[in-house]
Amino acid sequence: MEAVVVDAGSKLLKAGFAIPDQNPPLVIPTQMKKVLEEGSTVNTSTVEDIMIDPIVRGFVRDWDAMEDLLHHVLYTGLGWEMGNEGQILFTDPLLTPKGLREQLVQLLFETFNVSGFYAAEQGVLSLYAVGRISGCSVDIGHGKIDIAPVIEGAVHHISSRRFEVGGIDLTKLLARELGKSNPEVITIGRERYIVGEALFQPSILGLEANGIVEQLVHSISTVSSENHRQLLENTVLCGGTSCMAGFEDRFQKECNLSSSAIRPSLVKAPEYMPEDLTKYSAWIGGAILAKVVFPQNQHVTKADYDETGPSIVHRKCF
């Protein structure tokens, strides 16, 4: 049985068996609705519309909900059988706290009884998906933006940038802009452009920060100069929010206007890869990596976990 790859975002969870040349077969909302247990005497009107977000801004915030979500994904969605669980690879958001990594590996070994585990950073995996081991990943998701310079398959953490701005903030901006319209007739014109432009001019969101391309150039400028060209000329744009119509062209135009001696250039996806590579690059990169780490026994085994405990994840997954 192939290993399962899970890329759990704030908006969508992507999961499936490790087959790299296809999109993840299971893509579901991460948000869950609270349902009362059968026989409960609680007034249903008070909990009818309670929604739960297991993951907020990329990180797990509700572990009970996360357990329920994974149970549905693994046993109902992908057909695992109790007592015959397989191996699993998780994608890690940039700068995931050590405590969260340990909680995840503990949940998977102790509750789901997985036979093997591995985790890898999303920035690295997105580069693998386009056939690179060095470059810079710009991941624009539902709740955060991660800028990760990657050199020979390892994230340069000191130079990385994480911003808690994403698609959810652009949605709120659009709602605010549309709220200025006549409530009976809503015409979407300039609002279409303002929403995406906020990533290049954060002042639109009321933030005092540089635009995304300036942040990219600044991030790479803190890496050793001998790596600048390799990083800037192998920039990967990924994440659901980056799939806005025209966004890639706007991003490249801003790159061409950069004052940097070496201007950022976006990597084009190989023709043989799925069309939605930008949206699913971390999952696809995870499927590629799973084909290597599990057969070569580079993963965390049940024996490893039983001997060392959750901290083993920092030694074997880096």
CATH code for position 207: 3.30.420.40
Residue 275: pLDDT above 90? no
Residue 99's domain spans which residues? 4-34+47-125+276-316
Decide which of 211, 230, 257 is a domain's last residue. 257
Residues 78 and 111 in one domain: yes
Report the number of distinct structural domains present in the chain: 2
What does the pLDDT look like over 88-139, one tens digit per residue?
999 999 999 999 999 999 999 999 999 999 999 999 999 999 999 999 999 9
How far apart CA 275 and CA 206 sit, in angstroms, is 35
Given this model, what pLDDT does residue 180 score? 76
Residues 75 and 142 in one domain: no
Residue 270 domain-assigned?
A: no
- Residue 236: pLDDT band (50, 70, 90) is very high
Q: Count CA within 13 A, CB hemisphere, residue 83.
A: 0
Q: What are phi and psi of 181, to 5 degrees?
A: -80, 170
Residue 182: pLDDT above 80? no
Instruction: Work out the mean pLDDT of the chain and round it to a whole number.
Output: 92
How much is the pTM? 0.93
Residue 41 domain-assigned?
A: no
Residue 268 domain-assigned?
A: no
Residues 90 and 148 in one domain: no
- Residue 7: pLDDT band (50, 70, 90) is very high
Residue 292: pLDDT above 80? yes
Given this model, what pLDDT does residue 39 score? 59
Residues 121 and 196 in one domain: no
Residue 110 domain-assigned?
A: yes
Residues 304 and 252 in one domain: no
Residue 198 domain-assigned?
A: yes
- Which 3-state string (H, E, C) describes 214-273? HHHHHHHHCCCHHHHHHHHCCEEEECHHHHCCCHHHHHHHHHHCCCCCCCCCECCCCCCC
Residues 249 and 155 in one domain: yes
Residue 200 domain-assigned?
A: yes
Residues 116 and 167 in one domain: no
Residue 42 domain-assigned?
A: no
- Residue 262: pLDDT band (50, 70, 90) is confident
Residue 235 domain-assigned?
A: yes
- Residue 188: pLDDT band (50, 70, 90) is confident
CB 238 within 8 A of CB 282: yes
Decide which of 228, 257, 286 is a domain's last residue. 257
